[in-house]
Amino acid sequence: MCTVTFVPTIEGFVFTSNRDEDPKRSAHNIVEDQRGDISVYFPRDEGASGTWFAYSNADQFACVLNGAFEPHQRKEFYTMSRGIMALAYFDYATIDEFINEFNFEGMEPFTLILFNKGDFKELKWDEVELHVRTLSIQDIHLWSSATLYNHDWWIDRSVNFKEFVARQQPDQVGIMHYHKTVLPFVSEALQTLLGSPAPLTNLPVKTISVSSLEKTAQGYKFHFHRTDDKVKLYKSTY
């Protein structure tokens, strides 16, 4: 749930997510879940049964990252996992309805990127307040998890990614390759965030998958690649 990009295209966009997590929580397939009249598709978190990235056949997607603005101290208990919350979003007709009616109290800090038929918003929950920002679908965006990357890392990656897009005009496959080769988790990022004088070793975190959703004139195209190359799945909706 850690490095995410959005690139506008002539027909729509390419939205891509690196999952930096314990390999034990790697997804193995794409699940279809019927929520009312909507079919929702997502790689299932094998640990918590939720997801970090989901989309529907009703022109919607949700992607969640750990943390809001800065690292936080984890509590022993939260009312709901952030991956289950991401799926709950699809029970609401609009993003604003979700914002107004969902109970965020007791949730662990998160950044949630939501899209619904052109409405594009970023939600950040810091355990006290929900911060909502409307995003432009005409701009390039990059997010990094606040629990793994500091502001300087985010700035550097954002600038480099925008330069890459401007220079290469990559397609979905090219963006996924960039995520896999240039944007994977490296321990130096967390070392910098924690201010550790020594390199961090034996971390139970790595980039375990790259997922990408492309909106075209024909609908959505979704790719899910585990970085160990054992699973490469492709699914197209309507």
DSSP 192-225: HHHT-SS---S-S-EEEEEEEEEEETTEEEEEEE
Comparison of pLDDT for 85 and 74, the residue scoring more: 85
For the chain, which domains are there? 3-236 (3.60.60.10)
CA angle 132, 94, 36 (to 5 degrees): 135
pLDDT of residue 237: 62
183-226: per-residue pLDDT in tens? 997 777 667 766 776 666 666 678 889 999 999 998 999 999 98
The Cα–Cα gap between 205 and 7 comes to 26
Comparison of pLDDT for 201 and 82, the residue scoring more: 82
Instruction: Please list the residues that pair with 111 across neighbouring strands.
Output: 65, 124
Closest CA to 7 of 156, 155, 135, 101: 135
